[in-house]
Chain A
Amino acid sequence: MTKKINFRFLPLVVFVLLLGFLLKGLFSDPSERDSALIGKSFPQFELPDLNSNNKMHTPETLLTEPVLVNVWGTWCTTCKYELPFLTKLANEYDVKIVGLYYDQNHAPEFGEYADIPTIRVEVKEMLARLGNPYQYNILDLDRSLSLDLGVTGAPESFLIDANGIVRMHHMGDVNERIWREKLAPVWNEISQ
């Protein structure tokens, strides 16, 4: 009889546990993790260049001077809209922009692999059409760096100063207004 009663309490116990997680989850949303990243060093990584498997990028090569790291992909519609403006930033304001490229379909655990040669062609085609703001693109196939950065989608942009400290994180496209109001003040400060 006692066993039976314990069994009936099971849903309640499971629910209370769940409640705990939900409560915790409520306070650790990405916008908060986001601010936790600001003021910290850029995460460690060692990833290949989008156009060459042999060329590797690390924080040492990336963080020599102030840089805007832009997370994007050809599959991302909004990215298409910010490319022309980013190109303008790179050309007219001399902003160093490095792309962090990730592929949405890549899921090796389920037997779905990214087709890198096709990606290279698509990227080339798209940048030729809409403008190329990138000094180079880092390929984050397993999304490890994206995860460390707390990236939740594309596009997102990070401003990093000459000491490798993340100073600003922006989700969504960078346009004239966002640049003027949100990013430019920080950029002007770190690029002096």
Chain B
Amino acid sequence: MIPELGNFALYIAFALSILLSIFPAIGVRQNNARLMAMAPNLSIGLFVFTLFSFSCLVYAFLTDDFTVVNVAQNSNSALPNQYKFAASFGSHEGSFLLWLLMQSGWLFAVAIMSKGLPVDMRTRILTVLGWVCVGFYAYIIISSNPFERTLPYFPVDGRDLNPLLQDIGMIIHPPLLYMGYVGLSVSFAFAIAALLSGNLDSTWAKWSRPWTAAAWAFLTLGITVGSWWAYSELGWGGWWFWDPVENASFMPWLVATALLHSLAVSEKRNAFKSWTVFLAIAAFSLSLLGTFLVRSGVIVSVHAFASDPERGIFILILLALVIGGSLLLYSLRAGNIKSFGKFSIFSRESMLWGNNVLLIAATMVVLMGTLLPLVHKEIGLGTISIGEPFFNQMFTYLIVPFALLLGIAPLVRWKQDKLNNFVTKPVVVIISSVVLTLLWLKVEFNDINLLAALGTCLAVWVVLFTLLELKQTSKKVSLFKLPLSHYSMSLGHIGLAFVIAGVALTSQYSVERDVKMNTGDSAELRGYQFTFDKIKNIEGPNYDGWAAVISVTKQDKPVATMLAEKRFYPVQRNTMTEAAIDDGFFRDIYISLGERLPDGAWALRLYVKPYVRWIWLGGIIVAFAGGLTLFDRRYRNKNVAKVTAQ
């Protein structure tokens, strides 16, 4: 009964999205206030029904309703409750319903928080979101219904959730990522609404900025958690794989980052406007493209999952309509957009232009790397694979100018600045960064690796310049009166510095060692002594297996006692390596338990990974910085209202 109610609610939500996409639009055309007033109410209704529908699905999972196909295939009565909850969005259908919940959630947020916008603008924005919703709801109802029943022959127990997904990371990672993906639909809707109205002044950029920052912060956090999840759960110590699925989340992030910076120029200097609109369209388009790649099986086919061309076709049509339509609108209307702000070669604008160029170049690299194998195959040149070395090399090239620019840019004045002011400072900073880096690496590792030094140097450069900029600003404005968005910028840049340093250090200085160990044996790796204390049987709610107890000491002082597990999940017939991780600010110790050898010894892999945590710490700082923007006085509701009233 409950699943039927959920299904019914989904149909009602679909109907509401159709209404939302038609009547308010007519209202705008005829300047009919009553029709326009429908938009926020329909949006709220859409959210309420979707929330109800999603709750029904969660209920079906929590109560082990195996008459629902989705539950039977992805859950099991022995699964702990929190994972039953996670299983409700662990499958294609369930995750799409979560996606819709997020989409309608954003719609809801826009509806209740945009009261300050002019009525026609607000209505247009909600209508554009309504169009997007129609496509998504139609898709889930027609080809991916999560409430499908197995009646009359239903299984006694379910097939269990993929053990890989049975992790706290999996509970929080998809919701965060989806919040980011669909959040970009709001920036998209602002851009399309502005194009439709033909009214693209800097107020538009001001309205759009907090929404973009919010979506971007979610996306950042989602990617960071995803990386951490891969590290802690996949059991081989990697934190980024350039997998198509990861690339699908990275591309919108890169473009959204460019968009955030370009919006700043549009808002403050009335320049880059046409380009900003394009970025807003591109960011959401890449989220959609990513969804297509992940869900249709075109690219993921490398993982050899059976794909469903019907679903693929549907998403492709959706892509064609949404992306094609908006790009067409853009090419027709963008000619009318005039940018007034003039700037010289050396100015904050040109620096941000450089930021945009480099971010777009990075996006192109990822897009090419992801799609080239497909294009290559389709034009009959055979199958190729593009892997980590390509991406790593390209990103090493791109990050150098990017970080250099990023350091200086906040110090450069808008419109025009004197190049002469920028001779001494960079020289001083670069010398200090090099000296600090060499000192750091010498003390910490007693060995200087060139790539690690380069990365660390860039990170130090960014931090030094950020602090210098804050110091200079403090001469003009008290640091207490500085707008939050300024701190958000500084913090975001420092977060990125953490990521760069973490990536450079961990990728160059990580060490690993394969060992064969019996009880009592010990092994040494970078000054740490690993002793295999014992092996014990473990029994979990839906798995059993072995756990190796390993005590780690450094110079005879105990560091940690670690538990590396090998789990067997009988329902899915899956074996999982649950790595033991001792985390630290400066290094992680990572142990994964391998096979039991015929003589009773165990194969183990030991890792020492310096600074790996900085990558996620940096990601969290960056996301936090994005969130901080939202609390800037300029973007708070009342003030937006005031701006509009003026």
Footprint of B on A, CB under 8 Å?
4-5, 8-9, 11-12, 15-16, 18-19, 21-31, 77, 80-81, 107, 110, 112, 129, 147, 152-153, 171-172
Contacts and interface: CB of A to CB of B under 8 A. Distances in A.
Interface stretch (B88-96, B304-312, B553-561): B304-312
B152 interface: no
9 contacts: A11-B278, A11-B282, A12-B328, A15-B323, A19-B320, A21-B378, A22-B319, A152-B303, A153-B302
B82 interface: no
Given A5-B335, A147-B383, A153-B303, A26 B389 contact: no
A153 B302 CA distance: 7
Contacts of B327: 11-12, 15
Nearest to B393: A110
B389 A107 contact: yes
A12 B374 contact: no
B316 interface: yes
A80 B595 CA distance: 10
Nearest to A4: B335
Contacts of A11: 278, 282, 327, 330-331
A59 to B, nearest CB: 20
Nearest to A12: B327
Contacts of A29: 297-298, 301, 307, 309
A106 to B, nearest CB: 11
Nearest to B306: A31
A28 B377 contact: yes
Interface in B288-303: 292, 296-299, 301-303
Contacts of B334: 8
Nearest to B327: A12
Interface in B382-404: 382-383, 387, 389-390
B541 interface: no
Contacts of B597: 129
Interface of B: 274, 278, 282, 285, 292, 296-299, 301-304, 306-307, 309, 312-313, 316, 319-320, 323-324, 327-328, 330-331, 334-335, 371, 374-375, 377-378, 382-383, 387, 389-390, 575, 595, 597-598
Contacts of A28: 377-378
Nearest to B312: A26
B278 A26 contact: no
A25 B374 contact: yes
A150 to B, nearest CB: 9
B389 A21 contact: no
A8 B331 contact: yes
B238 to A, nearest CB: 13
A31 B307 contact: yes
A164 to B, nearest CB: 23
B324 A21 contact: no
A102 to B, nearest CB: 12
Contacts of B389: 107, 110, 112
A129 B297 CA distance: 37
Contacts of A9: 331
Contacts of A21: 371, 374-375, 378
B377 A153 contact: no
B319 A152 contact: no
Contacts of B377: 25, 28
Given A11-B282, A18-B371, A152-B301, 5 more contacts: A8-B335, A21-B378, A25-B299, A26-B298, A107-B387
A137 to B, nearest CB: 20
Interface centre among A11, A107, A171 (most CB of B within 10 A): A11
A179 B374 CA distance: 33
Interface centre among B306, B319, B378 (most CB of A within 10 A): B378
Given A9-B331, A12-B331, A22 B292 contact: yes
